[in-house]
């Protein structure tokens, strides 16, 4: 396996392994040679030098193994769940580790309760890719509805009109208006740092 890794020429890690092995081989006593004593005592390899060579070798192997994976830390504001290919990875902050590949990675940051769903496509290099942060902006929903109408957004009651503009994360939201037995439901697209108006009047009961 070692011969295959070195022979594959995988960058500096392979060169480092070859150099360390060469140093160890030169330092080791030869087998089958004459036992005649040299004119001057050989300079013995100290224990510290052997430990250093071993650490270099292990470090080179670790570097080589690290290049087989891509790692990135995913963060978001607000905290969101992360989905990749139908699999839930967890809630931010979460660390994603996958086999190194050339193809980009498609992720979805979402929270159904907040009505947030944001798609992200990442191209990861082998090794540590640091932190990828997603920030979801907020927009305003302005209700132009008669007084006394109960309002819910994404299934959560927010109050009865008149209401101040509602601050919502960008994305699609379902708004329901209720007056007595009358109901009206609308799906709106909220844009970050912008205002969206909802104007509606219930017909008068006969």
Domain boundaries, the chain: 1-26+47-67, 69-135, 138-200
pLDDT for residue 27 is more than 70? no
Mean pLDDT of 64-93: 90
- What's the CA gap between 153 and 106, in Å, rounded? 29
Q: Could you give the 3-state DSSP secondary structure of residue 129?
A: strand
Q: Measured over all CA atoms, what is the biggest interatomic distance in the chain, rounded to whole angstroms?
A: 120
pLDDT for residue 91 is more than 60? yes
- What's the CA gap between 124 and 98, in Å, rounded? 9
64 HSE (CA, 13 A, CB side): 23
With tokens 């944001």, the residue in question is 118
- pLDDT for 5: 46
H/E run at residue 14: helix 11-27
pLDDT classification of 157: cutoffs 50, 70, 90: very high
Mean pLDDT of 73-80: 96
Burial class (CB in 10 A: 0-12, 13-18, 19+), 13: buried
pLDDT classification of 128: cutoffs 50, 70, 90: very high
- pLDDT for 25: 47
Name the least confident of 20-24, 75-79, 122-126: 20-24
Cis amide prior to 184 (ω within 30 degrees) = no
Say yes or no: do domains 69-135 and 138-200 share a fold.
yes
Task: Quote the distance between the C-alpha of residue 15 and its chain's center.
Answer: 32
Choice between 38 and 195, residue whose per-residue pLDDT is larger: 195
Mean pLDDT of 168-180: 92
- pLDDT for 1: 47
pTM exceeding the 0.75 threshold for the entire prediction: no
When the candidates are 2.60.40, 2.30.30, 1.20.1070, 2.30.29, the CATH number that belongs to 69-135 is: 2.60.40
Cβ count near 143 (within 10 Å): 20
Mean of the per-residue pLDDT values of the chain: 81
Instruction: Give me the percent of the chain exceeding a pLDDT of 70.
Output: 73
pLDDT classification of 142: cutoffs 50, 70, 90: very high
pLDDT for residue 30 is more than 90? no
Choice between 112 and 65, residue whose per-residue pLDDT is larger: 112
Mean pLDDT of 185-198: 91
When the candidates are 3.20.19.10, 2.30.30.60, 3.30.499.10, 2.60.40.10, the CATH number that belongs to 138-200 is: 2.60.40.10
Cα–Cα distances (Å) from 38 to 42, 43, 117, in that order, read 7, 11, 76
- pLDDT for 67: 63
pLDDT for residue 134 is more than 90? yes
pLDDT classification of 44: cutoffs 50, 70, 90: low
């Amino acid at each position: 396996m070692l011969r295959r890794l070195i022979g594959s020429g995988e960058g500096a890690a392979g060169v480092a392994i070859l150099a360390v092995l060469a140093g160890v081989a030169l330092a080791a006593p030869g087998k089958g040679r004459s036992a005649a004593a040299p004119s001057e005592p050989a300079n013995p390899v100290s224990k510290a030098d052997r430990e250093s060579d071993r650490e270099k070798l292990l470090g080179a192997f670790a570097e080589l193994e690290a290049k087989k994976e891509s790692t990135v830390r995913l963060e978001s504001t607000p905290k969101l769940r992360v989905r990749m290919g139908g699999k839930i990875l967890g809630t931010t902050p979460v660390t994603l580790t996958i086999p190194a590949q050339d193809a980009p990675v498609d992720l979805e940051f979402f929270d159904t309760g907040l009505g947030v769903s944001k798609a992200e496509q990442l191209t990861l290099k082998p090794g540590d890719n640091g932190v990828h942060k997603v920030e979801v902006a907020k927009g305003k929903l302005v209700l132009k509805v008669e007084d006394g109408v109960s309002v819910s957004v994404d299934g959560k009651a927010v109050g009865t009109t008149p209401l101040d503009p509602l601050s919502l994360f960008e994305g699609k939201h379902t708004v329901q208006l209720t007056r007595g037995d009358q109901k009206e439901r609308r799906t709106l697209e909220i844009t970050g740092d912008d205002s969206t108006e909802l104007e509606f009047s219930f017909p008068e009961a006969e």
